[in-house]
Amino acid sequence: MISKHILSKSTYIKGLQCEKALYLTKKHPYLRDKLSIEKRAKFQRGTDVGILAQECFPGGVNMAPNSPSQFPKRVIETMENLQNPMVNVMYEAVFQYNDTLVMVDILVRDGEQWKAIEVKSSLRLSPTYYNDAALQYYVLHGCGVPLSDFQLMHLNGDYVKHGPIDVKQLFQHVSVLDYAKEQEPVIAANVERLKNVVALSHAPSVAIGPHCREPYECDFIGHCWKNVPQESPDVPFTIDYKALFAQSPSPKPRNVAYLSLLYHYPAVPELDGTKPYQEMLLAFAITGDNEPDGHTFWNCIDDRSCWQEGITLLESLLGHYDLVVTFTPNQLPWHKVFNLYEVLQNAQMFHPLLKKGMSLQHTFEAMFHGAKLFEHSRIIVEALAQDLTSYEQTKDDLIAENEAIKSIYQHFFK
């Protein structure tokens, strides 16, 4: 009989980042923050890329359980399939060793051995991905699985789509077997330490700090940061005004417009001639300061093949104004654009709300108490999900962003 596991890939990585987060996940999961739209979209992207990667090794047996209660059964079935000559590929193969459970994305028979593959929906491999793979190797080795290789499989940034997706070219493979073997003693020690954390009678005391967001934003920031002073009319933002005004537009512009942009970064290229995560302009709204009905809205949500036409149109519209003010972390190539995001960062603006990140939403709500603005990632997700005949909500959202940008700009530079 296989006992219930204590650690998994996700809880192990969480424990390396913060032992308190691991304890809360296992003992008090109800304290988690609400999952943001952006995180949900990221998880779905990883799932979609993982399913696509299976096409590189077709005909596999899917071992993914339908519910957590099926984990023990799947562990037994996975071990049986290792000995079954009719099974050459398994997806989400489930293994458990030393109270630690892992699910290997793809397991491929390689003669008398097996090749394990972990799929990542990124262009580059982070140290966390290597730690993830090393844990899986530790469990597989503990289960006696003979491995010829352990690979991380990730998206190829040089791949350009021409016709149907070529999955063999879309992905790159990096062997991490030697690294995983070297790390095995470290992994073993970490597993024992983290199992002891879970066994504690109360949560370990861990001070808040940069680890709350690195390498991943923690699920318990709302709980752990609840006693940190939050937004209030009595908590003004702080800013280096000397640095701010040194960036003032010069000469003073007479004809100003405000610009909101909606970009789409599909992990798997959707259009011929594009690469993974290539930036595609999905929609924009530009609002003229001196025009009675100065909103120009463009989108290609229903036909993304026209995305480059939006760039051409936008470049022509920029010529109508002395200055175009925006707020975006993206690097924009147009010299007339005045990016408040960069300006306020350079001026070291701070407010408790900005601990969540200097987004337009947080900056606007920090500066104007009681003001509300939808998060930008929500606009993107909802725009992509809209039915193809109505985009009025996207238009309204982007125009609302322009009004927020205008308020911030005029507060400092009018």
How many Å separate Cα 191 from the centre of its chain?
Answer: 26
299 and 192 both lie in a single domain: no
59 and 185 both lie in a single domain: yes
35 and 84 both lie in a single domain: yes
Domain, as residue range, for 307: 241-413
Q: Say whether pTM exceeds 0.95.
A: no
Residue 63 has pLDDT above 70, yes or no: yes
Helix extents (H) in 111-206:
127-142, 167-170, 177-198
Query: What is the phi-psi region of residue 115: left when phi exceeds 0, alpha when psi lies from -120 to 50, beta otherwise?
Result: beta
CATH of the domain at 19: 3.90.320
200 and 311 both lie in a single domain: no
287 and 361 both lie in a single domain: yes
pLDDT number for residue 356:
66
209 and 257 both lie in a single domain: no
Pick from 224, 255, 273: which residue ends a domain?
224
Number of domains in the chain: 2
CATH of the domain at 329: 3.30.420.10
- Give the dihedral sign, CA 357/359/361/363: positive
146 and 287 both lie in a single domain: no
244 φ, ψ (degrees, to nearest 5): -65, -50
78 and 124 both lie in a single domain: yes
Pick from 167, 192, 224: which residue ends a domain?
224
236-277 residue pLDDT tens: 788 999 999 999 998 889 899 999 999 989 999 999 999 999
Residues 78, 96: contact at Cβ < 8 Å? no
pLDDT number for residue 32:
92
Residue 1 lies in a domain: no
Axis crossing angle, helix 392-413 with helix 360-367, rounded to the nearest 10: 50
401 and 300 both lie in a single domain: yes
Pick from 224, 251, 267: which residue ends a domain?
224
pLDDT number for residue 388:
46
215 and 265 both lie in a single domain: no
Instruction: Give CA–CA dist 43/276, Å, rounded.
Output: 17
374-402 residue pLDDT tens: 888 777 777 777 654 456 788 889 999 99
70-127 residue pLDDT tens: 999 999 999 999 999 999 999 999 999 999 999 999 999 999 999 999 999 999 999 9
Least confident of 34-43, 354-363, 394-403: 34-43
Residue 176 lies in a domain: yes
Per-residue confidence at 227, pLDDT binned at 50, 70, 90? low
